[in-house]
Every structure is written in structure tokens, then in C-alpha cells.
């Protein structure tokens, strides 16, 4: 099932449009492709959209990939609006929003693998929720050598969304 863009998508899209100009970009977990299409329109040098589920996106190249399993190249900008909610056993709960038992497992795996896919000086634009245990995410990011800058926070309903920029300190 393709994730239908919601408030989180529009929040990260706004920052992706600014940061993508003249950059080689990857839209990880593209879903509907809203962010990849916006980056193309905003002037990205090149874009690859990737998702674990097959998608029908005609405007930009697409690869089906479980995180970086089918991706070999490096990027100046990797944008990831991941599934970030903790797993809930409620019947009908959407798998495309669940980031693992704690809500951060997908993000942590992504951060480990993304290091090998950033160009020198490249960076990551990432969204996470107050429900996905952000202290664990920030701690792991620091251990992996990322410097984090919070670009925006927005309270919606029962959570606070954070848009962060991550850059490797040794790059």
C-alpha cells in the first residue's frame, strides 16, 4: 500500500525543496513520490526514488529497495520520511507508518546504512516523531558519527514531529 501524503510529508517536502537544488538526491521510502517530484521541480541535479513496495512513479527514476539493498551509488542529499510510529497490535494498523516495536528501528537501520551512500559533504534530511524515542535516535546518530541540526519542530495531534539535518562529522 502506498503511503498517502499527510502533514509529515508536506513538512519534510518544504525543506527538501530548498536543500535539493543542484544536488544528486535520493528519496528513500518515497511512497507516492511527492517529495521526489517536488525536488525535481525545485532543481535537483538528479533524483532516485526508492521504496520497499513497488511504485508507479513516472516523473523520476524508481528502484524497489529495502532501505539500501538495491542502491549502490552515493548522494549529496538523502531524504527519508520513514515509518516512525511504534508497533500497535490494533487490527488494521497501517504497516507503512510502523517503524518497529519502539518506532525507531527502521530509522536506526537507515542511519547505519546511509553512511556508505553519502558523498563527501553530503547530508540527510530526516523526519521523526516524539513517539519514536528521539533520544535513542540522536544517541545512535552521534555514535555513528553524525552531527544533527534540528530544522523544525511541529506539534500535531498527539505527537511532535522533528525535521533534522544530519551530516557525518568526518566528511
Domain residue spans of the chain: 7-168
Band the pLDDT of 46: cuts 50, 70, 90: very high
Q: In what order do the strands lie in the sheet with 62-64?
A: 62-64, 46-51, 24-28, 75-80, 118-129, 159-168, 146-156
pLDDT for residue 13: 96
Q: Euclidean distance between the first and final Cα of the chain, in Å?
A: 37
Helix (H) or strand (E) holding 149: strand 146-156
CB atoms inside a 10 Å sphere around CB 80? 25
Q: Which fold has domain 7-168?
A: Rossmann fold (3.40.50)
Q: Where are the alpha helices (DSSP H) in 43-133?
A: 105-114
- Given a contact cutoff of 8 angstroms between Cβ atoms, the answer to whether 77 and 26 are in contact is yes
C-alpha cell at 13: 517536502
Q: Are 149 and 137 in contact (CB under 8 A)?
A: no
C-alpha cell at 129: 516523531
Other Cβ atoms closer than 10 A to 41? 11
Instruction: Please check the confidence at residue 35 and state whether its pLDDT lies above 60.
Output: yes
CA–CA dist 160, 111 (Å, integer):
21
pLDDT recorded at residue 53: 87
What's this model's pTM, rounded to 2 decimal places? 0.88
Grid look-up 543542484 returns: 22
Question: Per-residue confidence at 123, pLDDT binned at 50, 70, 90?
Answer: very high
Q: pLDDT digit string (tens) for 135-144?
A: 999 999 999 9
Classify 143 as helix, strand or coil: helix
Q: Retrieve residue 111's grid coordinates.
A: 542511519
Amino acid at each position: 500500500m502506498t503511503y498517502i501524503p499527510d502533514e509529515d510529508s508536506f513538512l519534510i517536502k518544504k525543506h527538501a525543496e530548498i536543500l535539493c537544488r543542484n544536488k544528486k538526491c535520493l528519496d528513500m521510502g518515497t511512497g507516492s513520490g511527492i517529495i521526489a517530484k517536488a525536488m525535481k521541480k525545485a532543481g535537483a541535479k538528479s533524483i532516485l526514488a526508492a521504496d520497499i513496495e513497488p511504485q508507479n512513479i513516472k516523473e523520476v527514476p524508481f528502484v524497489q529497495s529495502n532501505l539500501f539493498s538495491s542502491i549502490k551509488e552515493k548522494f549529496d542529499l538523502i531524504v527519508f520520511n520513514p515509518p516512525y510510529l511504534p508497533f500497535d497490535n490494533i487490527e488494521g494498523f497501517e504497516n507503512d507508518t510502523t517503524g518497529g516495536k519502539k518506532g525507531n528501528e527502521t530509522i536506526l537501520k537507515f542511519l547505519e546504512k546511509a553512511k556508505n551512500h553519502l558523498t563527501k559533504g553530503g547530508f540527510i534530511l530526516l523526519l521523526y516523531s516524539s513517539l519514536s524515542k528521539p533520544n535513542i535516535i540522536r544517541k545512535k546518530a552521534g555514535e555513528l558519527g553524525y552531527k544533527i541540526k534540528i530544522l523544525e519542530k511541529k506539534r500535531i495531534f498527539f505527537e511532535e514531529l522533528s525535521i533534522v539535518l544530519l551530516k557525518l562529522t568526518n566528511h
